[in-house]
Amino acid sequence: MPLVLTDQQRQILDGKKGTFLQRYMEWMYKWGTAMGARRMIPVENVLTGGLSAPGHMMAGASRNAVEKQREWMKALCRHRVKCTTFAHIAALDLESPTYIGTEPEDISFQQELIELGRQAGIHMTWTCTPYLVGNVPTKGQICAWTESHAVVYINSFLGARSTRHGGDSAIAAAVLGFVPEFGVLLDENRRAELLINVSTELETDTDWGLLGYYVGKIAGLRSPAFKNVAPPRLESAKQLCAGLATSGGVTMCHIIGVTPEAPNEETVFPMGQPREVYTVGRSELEETRDCLQNAKSDDIDFVYMGCPHATLQEIGEAARLLEGRRISENVSLVITMPYAIKAYAERLGYAEIIRRAGGHLMTDTCPCSAVFPKKRRMITNSVKHAHYSRAILGNEVILANSDDCIASAIAGRWVR
Ligand code: F3S
Distance 393 CA to ligand 1 centre (A): 13
143-145 sheet: strands from edge to edge: 122-123, 84-87, 45-48, 143-145
Helices 19-34, 167-176: crossing angle, 10 deg rounding: 120
C-beta 149 within 6 A of ligand 1: yes
> Which residue has the least CA distance to atom 5 on ligand 1?
308
pLDDT value, residue 60: 54
Q: Which atom of ligand 1 is nearest to the CA of 367?
A: 2
Task: Give me the phi and psi of 206, to 5 degrees please.
Answer: -65, -35
C-beta 84 within 6 A of ligand 1: no
Distance 200 CA to ligand 1 centre (A): 27
Report the residue among 384, 390, 392 best suited for mutation to probe ligand 1: largest number of ligand atoms under 8 A from its CB.
384
Looking at the DSSP assignment, which residues form a beta bridge with residue 198? 280
Residues with Cβ within 8 Å of 312's Cβ and at least 6 positions away in sequence, in order, are 132, 341, 344, 345, 348
Report the residue among 52, 100, 128, 378 best suited for mutation to probe ligand 1: largest number of ligand atoms under 8 A from its CB.
128
User: What is the residue-level pLDDT of the chain in tens, covering all 416 positions?
Assistant: 799 999 999 999 999 999 999 999 999 999 999 999 999 999 999 999 989 987 755 445 567 788 888 999 999 999 999 999 999 999 999 999 888 888 888 899 999 999 999 999 999 999 999 999 999 999 999 999 999 999 999 999 999 999 999 999 999 999 999 999 999 999 999 999 999 999 999 999 999 999 999 999 999 999 999 999 999 999 999 999 999 999 999 999 999 999 989 999 999 998 889 999 999 999 999 999 999 999 999 999 999 999 999 999 999 999 999 999 999 999 999 999 999 999 999 999 999 999 999 999 999 999 998 888 889 999 999 999 999 999 889 999 999 999 999 999 999 999 98
Nearest to 204 by CA among 15, 362, 383: 383
Neighbour-count burial for 322-350, b at 16+ CB within 10 Å, e otherwise: beeeebbeebbbbbbbbbbbbebbeeeeb
C-beta 369 within 6 A of ligand 1: yes
> Which residue has the least CA distance to atom 3 on ligand 1?
307
Classify strands 178-180 and 40-42 as parallel, antiparallel or unpaired.
antiparallel
Burial class (CB in 10 A: 0-12, 13-18, 19+), 278: middle
Nearest to 163 by CA among 150, 176, 177: 150
pLDDT value, residue 59: 47
Classify strands 122-123 and 194-198 as parallel, antiparallel or unpaired.
unpaired
Separation of alpha carbons 211 and 250, rounded Å: 13
Q: Which atom of ligand 1 is nearest to the CA of 309?
A: 6
Distance 188 CA to ligand 1 centre (A): 31
Separation of alpha carbons 300 and 330, rounded Å: 8
Separation of alpha carbons 91 and 58, rounded Å: 11
> Which residue has the least CA distance to atom 4 on ligand 1?
128
Type of residue found at 207: D
Distance 309 CA to ligand 1 centre (A): 6
| Cβ contact 318:404 at 8 Å | no
Nearest to 391 by CA among 411, 405, 374, 407: 374
Looking at the DSSP assignment, which residues form a beta bridge with residue 84? 45
Q: Which atom of ligand 1 is nearest to the CA of 336?
A: 6
pTM value is 0.97
Report the residue among 335, 385, 390 best suited for mutation to probe ligand 1: largest number of ligand atoms under 8 A from its CB.
385
Widest CA span in the chain = 66
Separation of alpha carbons 135 and 87, rounded Å: 11
> Which residue has the least CA distance to atom 1 on ligand 1?
308
| Cβ contact 56:370 at 8 Å | no
Residues with Cβ within 8 Å of 167's Cβ and at least 6 positions away in sequence, in order, are 48, 49, 50, 88, 146
Distance 50 CA to ligand 1 centre (A): 13
